[in-house]
Amino acid sequence: MDTNKNTYTIIYATILVVIVAALLAIVSLSLKGVQDTNVEVEKQMQILGSAALAKDAKSAPSKNKYVQDEFAKYITKAFIVDAQGNVVEEFNSDIVKTEPFKISPKEQYEIMKKIEGGDESAKAQLKLPVYICTTPDATKVILSCYGQGLWGPIWGYMSLSEDLTTIEGILFDHESETPGLGAEIATEKFQSQFNGKTILKDGVVSPVKIVKGGVKNPENEVDAVSGATVTSTKVEDMITMWLKYYQPYINAKK
Amino acid sequence: MDKNIFKTPIIKGNPITVLVLGICSALAVTVKLEPALVMAIAVTIVTGLSSFLVSLIRKTIPNRIRIIVQLVVVAMFVILVQQILKAYAYDVSKQLSVYVGLIITNCIIMGRIEAFGLSEKPLPSLVDGLANGLGYGLVLVIVAFFRELFGSGTLFGMQVIPQSFYDAGYMNNGLFIMPPMALILIGCLIWIQRSFTKEDTK
């Protein structure tokens, strides 16, 4: 057969592409469930991580199940807060399936940027997730944050004391910060500095400052990652920005 | 079947140190051993299977669009690998991030299909593809071993340099984590290899 004829070439290409496309579509559809669960479990683990829970996830026989169980056990409540600080909707069970958990911090970050750009009407769209974590010893309020790092997105969860005045724990993650420098924000060493810092002083939210060359005011300052000035600044910007939008809620709660 | 099809690409005709192909991903995914190993396995599977499939349909491929056909086959296997990693090895797929998708552009794969798969029988093509993947993987794992050991003091994420060393003033070498160190290490590997096989260099 002459494989160089035009008709043969066109038919060959068409059939090949259709077969490959069909095959990939089937695989993608059949694996989607498992992949979505992985993304969900990752988020649950980070929320728990900010409250220093689910520490044994790596050694658990089934990581997904362990994290899901811990999440269901400790995260007892979740709700959405609007730009005025009102609680819009509250959920008490099956948090993973509810709206606060499904909110994408990235989308909220885009809305915040719109507001910062002067578009006041965007404020109505703002939906901030809040999680309540109840352990036998204490109740913690977990807030979300998301921003731009040096090379890609950075995000995290802040776990605050019940009266919303101090940080009890914090967790950051990043997509592509420089290993050994900016990526250090995801380490215990950097994050543990935030424990016990005050964010509410005399009724005013004053976010933690990340400073270079030694902390002078230990109440709300932490040491920057050496050699990663930009990433450190971006982390501070991220916390400042999100706490600004959470402020009406924090004030109302107080 | 000629045994050299399998043996040559691993050391004597190693795709990275001799042919100097596939360097880009070798720089990016060798900070830690685990992603390097997964990357090595992924590339081995993709080179082997795509060489095999192309060889199987080689007589039907219209010559004018053969590169496109090869690309479609390679892309299909890469997406399959990517989807499976996302579902069953999520942490590793996160560490590898875009580099799994970039296997498509790995010159070793297209190079082996053009040079071997397109003209040889399916089984030798499969072996040739697998062997080239293994040769690539071998270099990746060697580089990642040194980078993780000296850069982070760990192997496969386990602490191997004892805490007492750090207490005595030992520090992880930050340079090993940065991409240039991969290039330096590969350079050293090429140097060592060339000094043993002088007669082959032109």
Q: CB pairs below 8 Å between A and B: how many?
A: 60
Note whether ipTM > 0.85 here: no
Q: Does A14 touch chain B (CB under 8 A)?
A: no
Q: Which residues contact B56 (CB under 8 A, 6 or more apart)?
A: B122
In a domain, A128, yes or no: yes
In a domain, A99, yes or no: yes
How many alpha carbons lie under 13 Å from residue B148 in its C-beta half-sphere? 23
In a domain, A8, yes or no: no
* B72: nearest CB among A4, A16, A38: A16
Which pair of tokens denotes residue B56?
Answer: 């199987």
* A35: nearest CB among B63, B69, B87: B87
pLDDT value, residue A1: 67
pLDDT tens by residue, B96-133: 877 888 888 888 888 889 888 888 899 999 999 999 99
pLDDT value, residue B128: 92
User: Does residue B189 contact residue B139 with C-beta atoms inside 8 Å?
Assistant: yes
Cβ separation of A12 and B151 shorter than 8 Å? no
pLDDT value, residue A254: 66
Cβ separation of A17 and B64 shorter than 8 Å? no
Cβ separation of B87 and A20 shorter than 8 Å? no
Question: Which of A36, A38, A187 best tests the B interface by mutation, with the highest count of B CBs <10 A?
Answer: A38
Once rounded to an integer, what is the mean pLDDT over residues B7-22? 81
DSSP assignment letter at B175: G
Q: Which residues of B touch A152 (CB under 8 A)?
A: none
* A179: nearest CB among B31, B76, B86: B31
In a domain, A44, yes or no: no
Decide if pLDDT at A171 tops 90. yes
pLDDT value, residue B49: 94
Q: Average pLDDT of chain B? A: 86
In a domain, A167, yes or no: yes
* B65: nearest CB among A13, A39, A180: A13
Of residues A198 and A213, the one with the higher pLDDT is A198
pLDDT tens by residue, B132-171: 999 999 999 999 999 989 988 888 878 888 888 888 888 8
Domain span at residue A164? 75-253
Q: Pick the residue from chain B with its C-alpha nearest to A18.
A: B72
DSSP H or E segment with residue A89:
strand A87-91
How are beta strands A200-201 and A204-205 bridged, if at all? antiparallel
Cβ separation of A38 and B90 shorter than 8 Å? yes
Decide if pLDDT at A229 tops 60. yes
In a domain, A205, yes or no: yes
CA–chain centroid gap for B74, Å, is 15
- CA-based nearest distance B57→chain A, Å: 11
Q: Does A117 touch chain B (CB under 8 A)?
A: no
pLDDT tens by residue, A13-71: 999 999 999 999 999 999 999 999 999 998 999 999 888 887 777 777 788 888 888 88
Cβ separation of B65 and A179 shorter than 8 Å? no
Q: Which residues contact B67 (CB under 8 A, 6 or more apart)?
A: B110
In a domain, A166, yes or no: yes
pLDDT value, residue A178: 76
User: Beta-carbon neighbour count of residue A102 at 10 Å?
Assistant: 11
pLDDT value, residue A58: 75
Q: Which residues of A61-85 are buried (b: 16+ CB within 10 A; e: fewer)?
A: eebbebbbebbeebbbbbbbbbbeb
Q: Which residue has the tokens 């709206």?
A: A99
Tally of structural domains, chain A = 1
pLDDT value, residue B198: 67
Q: Does A59 touch chain B (CB under 8 A)?
A: no
User: Does residue A74 contact residue A53 with C-beta atoms inside 8 Å?
Assistant: yes
In a domain, A226, yes or no: yes
pLDDT value, residue A29: 94
pLDDT tens by residue, A117-169: 888 888 888 899 999 999 888 899 999 999 999 989 999 999 999 888 889 99
User: Beta-carbon neighbour count of residue B139 at 10 Å?
Assistant: 25
pLDDT tens by residue, A80-116: 988 888 888 788 878 878 888 888 999 999 999 999 8
pLDDT value, residue A204: 76
